[in-house]
Structure 1
Amino acid sequence: MTAVAAAQPTPNVVDPRTARKVTLAGCVGIFAELYDNGIFGFMAGTLGVVFFPDASNAVQVQLVFLGYAVSFFFRPLGGIICGHLGDRIGRQRMLVFVILLISVATAAIGMLPTYASIGIAAPILLILLRVLQGFSVGGEASGAMSFLAEHAPEGKRGLYTSYAQIASFLSLLTGTLVAAGMTSGLGSDAMESWGWRVPFLLAVPLGVAGLYIRKRISDTPNFNRLKESGGLSKNPLKEAFTSSEHRRAMLLALFIPLMNGSGYYVLFGYMPTFMSTELHFSKVQGLLVTSASLVAISLAIPFMGRLSDRIGRKKVLSGAAIAMAALGVPCYLLIGTGNVALAILGASVMAVVFAGHTGVIHILLVELFPTRVRYSAYGLGYNISSALFGGTAPLLMTYLIAQTGNVNVPAFYAVVTALGTLIAVSRVTDKAHLPLRDA
């Protein structure tokens, strides 16, 4: 490896029009990438009937979430391969590739034969396509966030990257609304016969729109500057592992996202199924509660991003973790009352608290690494975290509730993951008010 002297960070001077165009490209891609999670969360029961008809209802849901979890273990591979190429040939090219891959994989799920048609091959194909989705999302998260941060004006990185998180939750809401609207309009029989395919096929126009926008944007000032100076790394991940500073940063990138497990993947991804199967809410009631919390977090995220630009990432993340540890159990108790209004209150309070985590975590992780290794190192740490503590969370919740009979398991998980995040954040040096490093 060729040693590279640390250069003085160069502040970005970005034209506002360019910044808006780039932000739109990042957000549209994130929306298309994560739309699928909303479908899976709401349609787990229907997919269980279609692909695992011989199992009981509870086992069907567990098997669907097992397929959901398996895909997350391919995220690190996507992060490694896409990160290596993104640090070598550019962020923009890889972001075009990953949105094409996940759009094809999601649409292909909508065209799969059912278990009734081809037997065990049907769920196997479902899981294989989920693996492709997991691989592409592994290249999306760190790539899109690095792309947005490297284009953002100085002093506004937190705000600009928070917009992508709004897109991720609006995509969850859209997927949930599409699945719920079709379920309500068509009924269970039609949904299990053919209706379940439609939400997945809608990935085609979403992907085309994202692909069109991403192909029309240029790469980031940081990457182009490094490329012009001959400073690109030949092996970014190897370089990251040879540096004690980068190894420590990757370890932080593994543990700081712990709250994602109880936030994104349980509070939003698993909540519709949890409310229906464990708390006996109707699907419409579950949709109402989930939708209200998604609106609440979408409104809160840009405020948290802007706040982190002012007072630093560390303070906002620490405050969110402390609040989640304190409020997790009371909020889940409100949801567990069976009263829709109280459930909306509990879920919305948790959503606003979680906004302090999800709206800030990615820019903090971006700032831990220099441009030379950012896509690779950030992607590896974050995607391993998502595999271990995120994608497995719905499966873990269904298993623990089945074993213990205690529907408050998600509340305890929220407290534990919040405390884990708090400990990890305490080890971070805040770099919110410094320019991004290139080397």
Structure 2
Amino acid sequence: MSAHPTPDRAPRTPMAREDIQLVFASSFGTVYEWYDFYLYGALAPIIAAQFFSGLDPSAGFIFALLAFAAGFIVRPFGALVFGRLGDMIGRKYTFLITILLMGLSTCVVGVLPSYADIGLAAPVMLIALRLLQGLAMGGEYGGAATYVAEHAPPDRRGFYTSWIQTTASLGLFMALVVILLLRQVLGDAAFADWGWRIPFLLSIVLLAVSVWVRLSMNESPAFQRLRETGRTSKAPIRESFGNWRNLRVVLLALFGLVAGQAVVWYTGQFYALFFLTGVLRVEPSTAQWLMVAALAIGTPFFVFFGALADRIGRKPIIMAGLALAAAGYFPMFEALTVAANPALAEAQANARIVVAADPATCSFQGSPIAREVDFASPCDLAKRFLTEQGASYDNRALPRGAATVVRVGSTEITPPRGGLAAGGHGFDDRSVRAIAAFRAEVRQALLAAGYPERADPARMDKVGIVVILSAFMLLVTMVYGPIAAMLVEMFPTRIRYTSMSLPYHIGNGWFGGLMPSIAFAIVAHSGNMYDGLWYPVLIAAGSCAIGLLLVRETRGRDIYAQD
């Protein structure tokens, strides 16, 4: 494979065979690793039932999301560990370590006993495996982006690296298709019982192919040149973050680019799918097929915007994507509600739900460690049930000591107070009966006011849903397609792997990976099903402002000028 050590302006030519092999070798393993990672996210409700069944259903689902997020939380630490190795021993062998760690951790999930089998040890082991996967992911992306960019022609760096950007969406695409096909073959009951393990076990085949592909790769020519001249970094972490000049660039990359890119990515692909199923009550397999269609439509735009960034610059495209996301998310999600569940949109317009209560009696509904019995006040019982039903409600403050009232349209219902059983474990029998009667009354009032239990397939505008999901994807491709090239171009070769990996994985691991959990907690607390969008909107807007003011364009920069 040839290197391109000078920023020449040679005419653009089609990708040579060795270039195609280079991109495929770098990207295939990354597709596989994202496939493994997204299996968990797509199966979060089943994971909650299998490994967190000892908790209240809402708390169990939040815990499942937090376990998913645990893999993202440790990604910056993986970036430090594997980024350091990549800058010291090379890109190729670090690739092999990360994919083996990721693949083996995923396969073990497929044979992990459930909570019903071994109790608390099951979620503990699951979270441990998620942490290992997150560590491996922390070393993956920076290596792939660096490796491809250091091989690419200088004037086509955005185009070449944009192929890596497709891998996350392709991994999600593969995960959804495998899940949907298995559901069709096995049936929903069998899949939820034991069939969910098959996608994890199948990954052993992909792991074997990925390892074989990566063994055939050559070392990056830029790193090889550094090693031959004895100029590789002996302390890449200290050089990357102990020097203010480089640390400043790291911080600008994080807050001016990656944090915003991350929330746009997770909103457009993960939160949109959760919103369809958990809030709009679209049947899961239908929602997943619609997302598969949007992924198929949107994925080529990663390459389109990567190539466009080679002509007009990386920064204008990324900033435009951030600005459009910040301005468009609220109306886009409202349009999604009308397209997916018009009966719900009509009911919300004609019969608002209000929880009127003394604020002192209302707990934080987004608590991930709460059990049903921890919400014993009438306000808590009302909000908890409405949250479980996916019903959006308004909060109205009453004077201190006033009784809580749930109003559905013109119907008013007074929730009971939960009394704890002897020993404090669960509600007493009287409370159990009163709570069941309250829930039945609220459910009946919701139905009478036009609130549907499920989205009606006959009224669903599936074409409109795909168009909206594709628009989310377009925003994702705008912010994500050019970013690999831009991050590579911001840092010198000797510490590039470490320097670009940390801001990327803090942004995507913390700002982005925590997005579903934080948004769900915000919605559970506020009652408004759109309030979770404030999280990505504010971060995208903040990154756009910082990026416009402080981040410099990198197109045309000679990445070999500072080895």
SS at 2:111 equivalent: coil
Listed as ranges, the gaps of 5+ residues in structure 1 are 1-8
Question: Given the alignment of the two structures, is residue 384 of structure 1 paired with residue 385 of structure 2, yes or no?
Answer: no
- C-alpha separation between the residues in 1 aligned to 2:523 and 2:36? 25
Contact 1:72 1:134 in 2 (8 A): yes
1:3 is matched with none
1:410 Cα shift? 4.3
Name the residue aligned to 1:118. Answer: 118
For residues 59-83 of structure 1, give each alpha carbon's deviation from its aligned partner in whole angstroms, at most 9, with x where no partner exists. Answer: 2221111101112221111111111
Counterpart amino acid of residue 45 in structure 2:
G
Q: Is the 8 A contact 2:264 2:475 kept in 1?
A: no
Q: CA deviation at 1:408?
A: 1.3
**Match of 2:556?**
433
Aligned to 1:294: 295
For the residue of structure 2 that corresponds to 1:67, the secondary structure is helix
1:153 match: 153
Matched residue SS, 1:209: helix
Specify the alignment match of 2:541 in structure 1. 419
- Determine if contact 2:50/2:115 at 8 Å carries over to the other structure: yes
Deviates more, 1:204-213 or 1:181-190: 181-190
Q: Deviations over 1:84-107 (max 9, x none)?
A: 110011001101111111000011
Q: Say whether residues 1:367 and 2:489 are aligned partners.
A: yes
For the residues of structure 2 that align with 1:262 and 1:306, how far apart are their CA atoms?
23
**Structure 2 partner of 1:310:** 311
The match for 2:277 is 276
Q: After TM superposition, list the pairs within 5 Å mapping 1:89-238 onto structure 2.
A: 89-238=89-238
* 54-63 or 310-319, which deviates more: 54-63
Could you say if the C-alpha distance between residues 187 and 59 of structure 1 is closer, same or farther in structure 2, counting changes exceeding 3 Å?
A: farther
What secondary structure, in the 3-state scheme, does the structure 1 residue paired with 2:43 have? helix
Q: Which has the larger share of helix?
A: 1
Counterpart in the other structure of 2:418? none
Checking the alignment, whether the CA contact within 8 Å between 1:261 and 1:417 is kept in structure 2 is: no
TM-aligned CA deviation for residue 303 of structure 1: 0.6
| 1:54 counterpart SS class | coil
TM-aligned CA distance change 1:386 to 1:405, over 3 Å: same
User: Which residue of 1 is the match for residue 372 of structure 2?
Assistant: none
Output the TM-score relative to the length of structure 2.
0.74
SS in 1 for 2:187: helix
User: What is the identity percentage for the equivalent residue pairs of Structure 1 and Structure 2?
Assistant: 33
Letter of the 2:333 counterpart:
Y
Contact conserved, 2:67 with 2:130, CA < 8 A, in 1?
yes
- Output one character per residue of 1:106-140: Cα deviation in whole Å (capped at 9) or x when no partner: 11111101111111100110000000000000000
Determine the structure 2 residue equivalent to 1:6: none
Paired AA for residue 302 in structure 2: I
Counterpart Cα distance in 1 of 2:160 and 2:502: 23
Distance 2:335 2:181 in 1: 26
Q: How many residues align?
A: 431
Q: 3-state DSSP class of the match of 2:552?
A: coil
Q: Which amino acid aligns with 1:394?
A: P
1:281-318 Cα offsets, whole Å, 9 max, x none, are: 11132113311321232021111000000011111111
Distance in 2 (alpha carbons) for counterparts of 1:31 and 1:69: 19
| 1:360-410 superposed Cα distances (whole Å, 9 cap, x missing partner) | 112111111011100111111221222320111111121111111222134
SS in 2 for 1:373: helix
CA contact (8 A) 2:301 2:477 kept: yes
- The alignment's C-alpha RMSD in Å is 1.9
8 Å contact from structure 2 (residues 269, 472) kept in 1? no
Verify the 8 A CA contact 2:519 2:533 in the aligned structure 1: no
> Could you tell me which amino acid in structure 2 is paired with residue 351 of structure 1?
M
In 1, are the aligned partners of 2:31 and 2:168 still within 8 Å (CA)? yes
Task: Give the counterpart letter for 1:150 in structure 2.
Answer: E
Q: Aligned partners of 1:293, 1:59: CA distance in 2, in Å?
A: 31
Give the TM-score of the pair, scaled to structure 1.
Answer: 0.94
> Which string of whole-angstrom CA distances, capped at 9 and with x for unpartnered residues, describes residues 22-79 of structure 1?
1001110110111023322321111111111233332222111110111222111111
In structure 1, distance between residues paired with 2:265 and 2:105? 22
Which has more radius of gyration? 2
Q: Once superposed, which parts of structure 1, at least 4 consecutive aligned residues long, lie more than 6 Å away?
A: 12-15
1:104 counterpart SS class: helix
| Distance in 2 of aligned mates of 1:434 and 1:98 | 29
Q: What letter is aligned with 2:471?
A: V
Question: CA contact under 8 A between 2:323 and 2:541: conserved in structure 1?
Answer: yes
Query: 1:41·1:272 contact (CA, 8 Å) conserved in 2?
Result: no
